[in-house]
């Protein structure tokens, strides 16, 4: 049973992990980050600090990051309200981006909901359309939850970016999985 499961707390590191580098300082809330993502950031010269996912906004801001990264990981984003609260406090103070679970947590922080997919998006060859350029890229995906659209829709059809207002400013949906 994945719905309601806080699996991120079982895979987050117990202590911060600090990886020096000459470039921008990225502070990540580690909800189960893949080593390949850390490796890619380091290969680009980033200084990376990974914090346990239970870390609060004060701990993140005290590190003066150039940006905050919300990692991928297992479980239901709706079960991670403590992380969503931290993210909500960071949005507008620092640039924040996320992959997979991190993207879902960021969406929840700005007021959207998530839902469990009936079968999940798993494997390679998922076409994703860039709504600004029309370009379609083939991606690899592995998640069982998705974000509800700004109008409450679980499936969106659009040929151009979708924008809506949040408490933090304008949000934009820029890419769309064509399997949805």
Question: Which residues, 6 or more positions from 48, have their beta carbon under 8 angstroms from its beta carbon?
Answer: 17, 18, 19, 21, 26, 28, 38, 41, 42
Contact 8, 32 (CB under 8 A): yes
With a cut of 90, say whether residue 139 has pLDDT above it.
no
Contact 127, 140 (CB under 8 A): no
Residue 82: the pLDDT is 95
Sign of the four-CA dihedral 33, 34, 39, 41: negative
pLDDT in tens, 23-72: 999 999 999 999 999 999 999 999 999 999 999 999 999 999 999 999 99
pTM: 0.85
How far apart CA 29 and CA 16 sit, in angstroms, is 10
Residue 134: the pLDDT is 86
Residue 21: the pLDDT is 92
Q: Given pLDDT bands bounded at 50, 70 and 90, which one contains residue 153?
A: low
Residue 180: the pLDDT is 58
Q: What are phi and psi of 79, to 5 degrees?
A: -90, 0
How far apart CA 145 and CA 115 sit, in angstroms, is 5
Query: Would you state the CATH architecture of domain 1-109?
Result: 3-Layer(aba) Sandwich (3.40)
Q: Extract the tokens encoding 173.
A: 């949906």
Give 144 or 170, the one with higher predicted confidence: 170
Q: Given pLDDT bands bounded at 50, 70 and 90, which one contains residue 140?
A: confident
Residue 154: the pLDDT is 62
3-state DSSP percent of the chain in helix, strand and coil, to 5:
25, 35, 40
pLDDT in tens, 69-117: 999 999 899 999 999 999 999 999 999 999 889 999 999 999 888 878 7
Q: Extract the tokens encoding 167.
A: 């408490």
Cβ burial of 144 (10 Å; 0-12, 13-18, 19+) is middle
Write down the domain spans for the chain.
1-109, 112-180
Q: What is the mean pLDDT of residues 152-167?
A: 71
């Amino acid at each position: 049973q994945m719905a309601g499961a806080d699996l991120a707390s079982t895979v987050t590191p117990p202590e911060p992990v600090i990886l020096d580098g000459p470039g921008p300082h990225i502070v990540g809330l580690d909800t189960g980050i893949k080593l390949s993502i850390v490796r890619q950031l380091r290969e680009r010269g980033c200084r990376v600090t990974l914090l346990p996912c239970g870390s609060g906004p004060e701990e993140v801001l005290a590190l003066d990051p150039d940006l905050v990264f919300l990692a991928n990981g297992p479980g239901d984003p709706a079960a991670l309200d403590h992380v969503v609260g931290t993210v909500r406090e960071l949005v507008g103070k620092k640039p924040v981006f996320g992959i997979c679970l991190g993207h879902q947590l960021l969406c929840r922080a700005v007021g959207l909901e998530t839902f469990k997919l009936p079968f999940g998006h798993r494997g390679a060859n998922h076409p994703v359309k860039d709504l600004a350029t029309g370009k379609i890229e083939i991606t690899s995906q592995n998640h069982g939850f998705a974000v509800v659209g700004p109008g409450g829709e679980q499936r969106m059809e659009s040929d151009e970016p979708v924008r809506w207002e949040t408490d933090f400013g304008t949000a934009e949906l820029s890419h769309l999985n064509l399997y949805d």
